[in-house]
Structure 1
Amino acid sequence: MIYRLIIFLILNFTGLAIAGLFTSKGVPSDWYVGIAKAPWTPPGWVFGAAWTIIMICFSIYMTYLWESTENKNPLLVLFAITWILNVGWSPIFFHYHQIFAGLLVISGLTLLIGFLIFFYWSQVKFKSTLLLPYFLWLLIATSLNGYIFFRN
């Protein structure tokens, strides 16, 4: 079980590192500084702290779910899609400045994490609450992206 947890931690934090390459250049960019942002946009340090907690919880959740799931193929596909959407949002939004496409990606990721919570609840029960920080943060992030889309 520890081996799988380490694998999920490596995969998830590698994804964060890749996304961070685009975010770290995008946040101080003239484009991002000049757009209208939601009044509830948290300070920058909150994003790093939130994503660290989220990815630790997500990795623990995936480890438990992996252990309790007999047919691993659909789970592997769902994990891959979450990884791609999570990593893909940053270049879409910060590098290509595609606000609407970013909103579609983050909305899809939010729906997918919600799906994981409810679909696999019967298998991992209360451990599904490990996904609540991820889901709640995505709701906030989606609202931030939506605000930017509608105000710019």
Structure 2
Amino acid sequence: MKFLRLLLLFLLLNFLALGVGVVLMNSGPTSNWYLSLNKAPWTPESWVFGTAWTLIMIFYSVYMTKLSLSFKSINKAIIKLYGLQWFMNVIWNYLFFNQHLEVLALADIVLLWLLVGYFTFNYLRVVKTYTVFIIPYLIWLTIATSLNLYIVLNN
């Protein structure tokens, strides 16, 4: 029961991040600015982004639930790192799509990738096989970082 309650909390928080990100991106991927960019040849179709993020946030919620329950009491470091991850994920949308600050967005997503990588490898012994639930996040951030970098270098 405790697992389910915490899972629902992380699902709520993670989908809130997606929702806030969508609001902050304004017209984002449909804007003239974005449509006119020279994008990487491996840029997925637009529907892939929503599907990927939905699945990633479900899996990440399972991961964070297991990680949080792996300690006898609330681990303040994990809460702070999770909050930082939440903020960095959300703010990328604002930096990239709303403000067109591609270089600053790139710095943000690289730091986010490092943070998710830290979660992945630092807590591997703690969550063991549950690490599989954070791997899609790390893979998707790798792809997203390459897309952001391509735009920085080719526009």
* Distance in 2 between residues matched to 1:41 and 1:89, nearest whole Å: 17
Question: By how many angstroms is 1:96 displaced?
Answer: 0.5
Answer whether contact 2:88 2:109 (CA < 8 A) is retained. Answer: yes
Question: By how many angstroms is 1:22 displaced?
Answer: 3.4
* Distance in 1 between residues matched to 2:17 and 2:142, nearest whole Å: 20
Number of the residue aligned with 2:61: 59
* Distance in 1 between residues matched to 2:26 and 2:49, nearest whole Å: 11
* Distance in 2 between residues matched to 1:87 and 1:69, nearest whole Å: 27
How many percent of aligned residue pairs carry the same amino acid?
Answer: 42
* Distance in 2 between residues matched to 1:130 and 1:61, nearest whole Å: 5
Number of the residue aligned with 2:14: 12
Residue ranges of structure 2 left out of the alignment (5+ in a row):
none
Question: By how many angstroms is 1:24 displaced?
Answer: 5.8
Q: TM-score, normalised by structure 1?
A: 0.97
Report Cα offsets for 1:39-59 as digits up to 9, x if no partner: 000000000110010000000
**Structure 1 residues 128-139: aligned runs within 5 Å:** 128-139=131-142
* Distance in 2 between residues matched to 1:69 and 1:122, nearest whole Å: 13
* Distance in 1 between residues matched to 2:24 and 2:90, nearest whole Å: 10
Number of the residue aligned with 1:108: 111
Question: By how many angstroms is 1:75 displaced?
Answer: 0.2
Cα root mean square deviation, aligned: 1.0
Q: 1:44 aligns with which of 32, 43, 46?
A: 46
Q: TM-score, normalised by structure 2?
A: 0.95
Q: 2:151 aligns with which of 131, 148, 152?
A: 148
* Distance in 2 between residues matched to 1:130 and 1:39, nearest whole Å: 28
Q: 1:77 aligns with which of 77, 80, 90?
A: 80
Tell me how many residue pairs correspond in the alignment.
152
